[in-house]
Amino acid sequence: MTENLEQLHQTLEAARAEVRRVILGQDEVIDAALVVILARQHALLEGVPGVAKTLLARTLAHVLGCEFARIQFTPDLMPADITGTNVFNFARNEFTLVRGPVFTSFLLADEINRAPAKTQSALLQAMQERTVTIDRETHPLSPNFTVFATQNPIEYEGTYPLPEAQKDRFLLKISIAAPDRDHELELARRMLGDHSPEATLEHGDVRAVLGPGELERARAALSDVSMREEITAYIVDIARRTRTHESLLVGAGPRATQALVVSSRAHAALAMRDFVTPDDVKAMAVPVLEHRLILRPEFEIEGMTPAESVQKILESVPVPV
């Protein structure tokens, strides 16, 4: 195992420990978020209000030494509210760029499906190209620019569903459920004192494991995680099977294949290994694929979910030895 990978393992373990001091009972969610960050991609967080979606993004930004900004998406939000705009400065007799919240490292796009398509598309360029265009001038964003977009899965009134092309830009869909009883009891106890999760973060009780600019170096160690040709072929076969499976109207495209490759590699690094196994692929298949698939109406009526379709596909594709 290389020295860079050893350092990455130490960083990940320290980051997990610090984030768990704030986010209780969500270890799988924390790991999935770290996969997204390691892979330099974006995540779609889905969960009912109050399950710490915003707090998760804030905590990760603090622990990994990155800037954090938040946008509350609403139906009247305009693209310039996200990207920024040029404002005329009378004192200097020139236009000055007032930067929008996308000029950050970690961006929480809260309730992204409440904004109209024009505003969603402004964020799409930033996600895909890590640049924004303001008055025909292109401005680069942080190389660490990562979007955590949230959706409420039970409330759709007054929302604009994300188009398939935009959902495909998210590496993972991370579903966040309520914590189990023991962790919720611990949360309730903390609220009786001054050790609530928010207070723990705001009072400086959570340390940063990386300094400014160090995240990029940590990510570079991911290239030391090897993947056998048989595992790569396994990933391709899974993605291709979604295009012919009887329960699916629309399967996953080539971007999903790429996403499964990079996320499986990051999952192996989180498991403290320098090689990818079929179990890494299986662990990442549902969060990578489910938001990219469209069920046939007859299967949807029967109550099947895209995640169940992915599980059936995993059972049908031969696992490499």
Residue at a domain's end among 218, 248, 276 = 218
Residue at a domain's end among 184, 218, 252 = 218
| Percent of the chain at pLDDT exceeding 70 | 98
Regarding whether 249 and 124 lie in a shared domain, the answer is no
Q: What is the pLDDT of residue 155?
A: 67
Two tokens at 222? 């991911």
Q: How confident is the model at residue 2 (pLDDT cuts 50, 70, 90)?
A: confident
Residue 172 has pLDDT above 70, yes or no: yes
Two tokens at 210? 């990386």
pLDDT digits (tens, 9 = 90+) for 183-225: 999 999 998 888 888 888 888 889 999 887 788 888 888 999 9
Taking the CA of residue 126 as centre, how many other CA atoms within 13 Å lie in the half-sphere pointing to its CB?
A: 30
Length of the chain: 321
321 in a structural domain = no
pLDDT digits (tens, 9 = 90+) for 40-81: 999 999 988 888 999 999 999 999 999 999 999 988 999 999
Quick one: average pLDDT of 230-244? 97
**Taking the model in full, what pTM does it have?**
0.92
Regarding whether 274 and 208 lie in a shared domain, the answer is no
pLDDT digits (tens, 9 = 90+) for 262-312: 999 999 999 999 999 999 999 999 999 999 999 999 999 999 999 999 999
Regarding whether 177 and 297 lie in a shared domain, the answer is no
Q: What is the pLDDT of residue 158?
A: 64
Cβ(47)–Cβ(153) below 8 Å: yes
59 in a structural domain = yes
Domain span at residue 249 reads 225-316
pLDDT digits (tens, 9 = 90+) for 78-131: 999 999 988 888 888 888 888 999 999 999 999 988 888 888 888 888 898 899
Residue at a domain's end among 194, 218, 242 = 218
Regarding whether 103 and 38 lie in a shared domain, the answer is yes
**One-character DSSP codes across 157-218:** TT--PPPHHHHTT-SEEEE-PPP-HHHHHHHHHHHTTT--HHHHHHTT-S--SS-TT-HHHH
Cβ(86)–Cβ(135) below 8 Å: yes
Regarding whether 189 and 99 lie in a shared domain, the answer is yes
The total of structural domains in the chain comes to 2
